[in-house]
Amino acid sequence: MDQKSENVNELVKYLEKEAKQHQSACRIKNVLAQLLFLITITFSALGLINTGTDWFNLKEMSAIAAMPGIILIFSNTFKFEERSKWNKLKQRKLEGLLFKLKFENAMVEEISKEMREELEKLDEMRVQLEKPTTK
């Protein structure tokens, strides 16, 4: 096997592995975001139900009423939905490069250069996700 086909195979393996990892991360973060949303709705519904039924005493109701706000702070701090979108975007970019390499017979050098440029842009976006939310 010559050096060029070895480079192509290495790059294909790398792109496939990275795309899979970002797909998995995207799914996990999306599930977390949706789960937090569902929990928030559940606590809000419990508060609404309690107004008519008095199932919970005052201390329990105070804790239940505080939970949606606590979850909102947690969700805004960790930005699961935004991070999920970032992982999906990176996955799609990597898959695009992989398809160019596999099916459009792009040169390894061309894909490598394009990958560096795309990853730099994505890293800049990620830095924005790391910054705390200010309002």
Which tens digits make up the pLDDT trace of 52-63? 888 999 999 999
Q: Are 91 and 23 in contact (CB under 8 A)?
A: yes
Question: pTM to 2 decimals?
Answer: 0.83
Question: Between 88 and 130, whose confidence is greater?
Answer: 88
Distances in whole angstroms, Cα of residue 61 to Cα of each of 4, 33, 37 = 67, 24, 19
Measure the CA–CA gap between 91 and 15, rounded to whole angstroms: 9
Query: For the chain, first and last CA: distance in Å?
Result: 58
CA count, 13 A, side-chain hemisphere, 123: 6
